[in-house]
Amino acid sequence: MDSTKRYERLRERYLNGDLDRRKFLGLIGAAGLAYGVQTPFSRQALAAAEEVRFDGWGGVVSEAFRKYAFDPYTEKTGVKVVDGTFGGGDEYLSRVKASQEGEYNIAHLSGVFDYARYVNLGLNSTLNEDNIPNLKYVIPKLTDVFRGVTDGKLSCVPYDYGTTGIAYNRKYISDEEAKEKGAKLLIDAAYKGKIGGWSDWRTRVWYASLQTGQDPNNATDMDAVWEAVRTNRDLLLKYWQSGAELMSLLAEEEIYVTEGWSGRIYALQEQGHDIGYIDPPNGFGWQECLFVIKGSPMAEVEELLNFMLAPETSIAVAEGQNYPPALDPNKVDLGKKIPTLPAFDPTGTLDGLTFANPDYWNGHEADWSKTFGRIQKGY
Amino acid sequence: MSVEARERRQPWILLSPALTAVGLLLFVPLMFIVVYSFWLRTATGADQAGFYFDNWNEALTDPFYRDILLSTLRIAAITTIACAVMGYPAAYFIARARSNKALLLLLLMLPFWISYIIRTMSWINILGVSGAVNWLLLNLGIVDEPVQMLYNEPTVILGLVHFLLPFMVLNVYVALEGIDISLEDAACSLGSTRWQAFREVTLPLSLPGLAAGGLLCFVLSAGTYITPLVLGGPTDAMFANLVFEAIITQLNWPLGSALSLMLLAVLGALVLIYNHYLGMAQLMKGLG
């Protein structure tokens, strides 16, 4: 019952003689007080469902989301999308852990291991897939791995995939040399002081595994891995912290070679920089998803996810951010640009990419992140 | 209520908003950090409440933390000395300027109008391979290829000096402003040279300002993590970077809490030593 109806009933009772004047005025006063106290909070509660917060990697990725997904979605539904950015998954998880439920809604997470970490911390929600019919266009292999973590249910929708390969300045390093040396290019003493590296312990351990001839998802000689991480550290100019810094270091020729994110390197190439990019054998493949955090307004979020998975939106975002979409090329015509993007798999099976095994990586997270933190500082 | 009782209560009434803010925004969070430091991080990254000394044991006995702490204190000390050497003449010049004093002070404050991170990052455009200095060196034919000047300890110190110099200048300036200029003239009239007058009269009288500026520069530089992150090389981390990593990268809030309290204790001890010998009044003057 709204306040107007309640007042009308009260007035009717008063006019019928059921209430004396003092009681009537008292009840009107109490109603006014209750309305005054309740209204600001109810407005806030309603406002929360009128906007959804999205956090992503910033830069060209955020620009693509804003231009091709959020603005058209807001125009269509009236639901505002507030977008924030983060420099890395670890930093963002810390922010979410410190937040109030509902403060963060959708995150553009990388890797199944991140998905598993959020689930382990109880930060996930369960999607009603009936509200996301566009899920049918997604490569089945991408959803299956997430379902494996959350008992067949989904807390995210897969959105895109890419690789962390080796990026090099062709002015100083030829394609042939890069192909021949592969991951070992990052520990080549000839480029001392001109090598960059992401300050992410997983990437460092992954590439050190490749440099020591081991399976990145099952390294057995960790001493050799850490030694390779040390060798790489001693040759580095700098550990970069974000995609923007990666692009700046390469574009300004502060560094000649680094591992890099396929989409960011493609963006540099589009800007005219002569940067080569290769995925060495067993290079780091990853998939990104739109993860829904516990306490989010599910109806609005599911509607946004469905909108973002619509082929026209998904393809436009993919072309903007330069990462292939999670859409199955056997079900959706992906246009002309996407098949040219690095890491794109035309078969839709993704068999050519090596993804991180979440059990292996999350099982070693506490030890390895700490060990890398020490090696990074010269130990 | 008697007049005396009302007068006794008045300062507390006036102070209550500030005390409430300090209590809620400083002491309560600090207590949370203290409690957190006795918890444990589980394998999944979740926190295990309890009363464990593991984090403190690790923070206090592991040479890794001790070495980085000592390195941080060394960098902070070098930064403070550099700020003092560069800041004192600037403060002296401003204090003794006959005109445009307000303009000079305004120029000193100007950097505060720009974000600290932006100011730090500006060094990339100055000292980078494609930066202004290399451009000049290459165009003047002094070097054949760009000189690698960034991402090492000297650039971290440079960034810190850039950030902290105004704090030093302001503190010394305040101290110099309080010195009667005729004292130097009196010393000269008694036979001392200008340099002797400065060394024997002005410098000792301005030492509290120098010490206050030094304390501020030291504490602020020892607690920074942005500068080594932006301008440092692979091994140029400072202690605050360890706190950042423990909390953000490793999701180990309990260990991060113990480390941050350790840094707080070291810097707090310095402030107490300063207060014991010089008192906080000079620091307040500089900050004001």
pLDDT in tens, chain B (288 residues): 688 888 888 989 999 999 999 999 999 999 999 999 999 998 877 899 999 999 999 999 999 999 999 999 999 999 999 999 999 999 999 999 988 899 999 999 898 899 999 999 999 999 999 899 999 999 999 999 999 999 999 999 999 999 999 999 999 999 999 999 899 999 999 999 999 999 999 999 999 999 999 999 999 999 999 999 999 998 899 999 999 999 988 889 999 999 999 999 999 999 999 888 877 666 666 555
Task: Tell me, yes or no, whether A11 and A149 share the same domain.
Answer: no
Contact A229, A372 (CB under 8 A): yes
Which one of B45, B68, B249 has the shortest CB-CB distance to A117? Answer: B45
pLDDT for A318-355, tens place per residue? 998 899 999 999 999 999 999 999 999 999 999 888 99
Give me the pLDDT at residue A345, please: 92
Give the burial string for B244-276 (b: 16+ CB within 10 Å, else e): bbbbbbbbbbbbbbbbbbbbeeebeeeeeebee
Task: Tell me, yes or no, whether A372 and A265 share the same domain.
Answer: yes
How many domains does the structure of chain A reveal? Answer: 3
Task: Tell me, yes or no, whether A99 and A145 share the same domain.
Answer: yes
Give me the domain span that covers residue A83.
75-160+287-348
The answer to whether residue A206 is domain-embedded is yes
Task: Tell me, yes or no, whether A99 and A128 share the same domain.
Answer: yes
User: Which ipTM was obtained for this model?
Assistant: 0.78
Task: Tell me, yes or no, whether A260 and A180 share the same domain.
Answer: yes
Task: Tell me, yes or no, whether A262 and A364 share the same domain.
Answer: yes
Domain boundaries B63-287, corresponding CATH code: 1.10.3720.10
Task: Tell me, yes or no, whether A205 and A122 share the same domain.
Answer: no
Domain ranges of chain B: 63-287
- Compute the distance between CA of residue B234 and CA of residue B149 in angstroms, rounded to an integer: 14
User: Over 60: is that where the pLDDT of A362 sits?
Assistant: yes
User: Over 50: is that where the pLDDT of A367 sits?
Assistant: yes
A-chain residue closest to B42, CA distance: A366
- Give chain B's count of helices (H) and strands (E): 15, 2
Task: Tell me, yes or no, whether A235 and A371 share the same domain.
Answer: yes
Q: How far is B214 from chain A (nearest CA, A)?
A: 27
CA distances B63 to A340, A358, A375, B240, Å, are: 51, 32, 14, 16
Of the pLDDT bands very low, low, confident and very high (cuts 50, 70, 90), residue A49 is low
The answer to whether residue A44 is domain-embedded is no
Give which of A254, A255, A294 to mutate to test B binding, by max B Cβ within 10 Å: A254
Which one of B45, B234, B242 has the shortest CB-CB distance to A120? Answer: B45
B-chain residue closest to A92, CA distance: B248
What are B47's two structure tokens? 């926190």
Q: Which residues of A touch B251 (CB under 8 A)?
A: 90, 93-94, 97
Task: Tell me, yes or no, whether A272 and A325 share the same domain.
Answer: no
The vertex-B220 CA angle with B124 and B251, nearest 5°, equals 80
Q: Which residues of A touch B48 (CB under 8 A)?
A: none
- Mean pLDDT, chain A, integer: 88
Which one of A94, A201, A379 has the shortest CB-CB distance to B247? Answer: A94
Task: Tell me, yes or no, whether A252 and A171 share the same domain.
Answer: yes
- Compute the distance between CA of residue A16 and CA of residue A8 in angstroms, rounded to an integer: 12
Phi, psi at residue A70, to the nearest 5°? -70, -50
Residue at B254: amino acid letter: P
Task: Tell me, yes or no, whether A234 and A318 share the same domain.
Answer: no
Give which of B250, B252, B253, B257 to mutate to test A binding, by max A Cβ within 10 Å: B250
Which one of A91, A239, A374 has the shortest CB-CB distance to B234? Answer: A239
Q: Which residues of B touch A246 (CB under 8 A)?
A: none
How many Cβ contacts (< 8 angstroms) between chains A and B? Answer: 82
- Compute the distance between CA of residue A163 and CA of residue B101 in angstroms, rounded to an integer: 58
Which one of A233, A253, A370 has the shortest CB-CB distance to B234? Answer: A233
Give the percent of chain B with pLDDT over 70. Answer: 97
Q: Which string of DSSP letters, residue by residue, matches B109-122?
A: HGGGGS-HHHHHHH
Angle between helices B101-109 and B63-96 (to 10 degrees): 160
Closest alpha carbon to A305 in A137, A148, A177: A137
End-to-end Cα spacing for chain B: 36
Between A61 and A81, where is the model more confident?
Answer: A81
- Compute the distance between CA of residue A201 and CA of residue A374 in angstroms, rounded to an integer: 11
The CATH number assigned to the domain holding A315 equals: 3.40.190.10
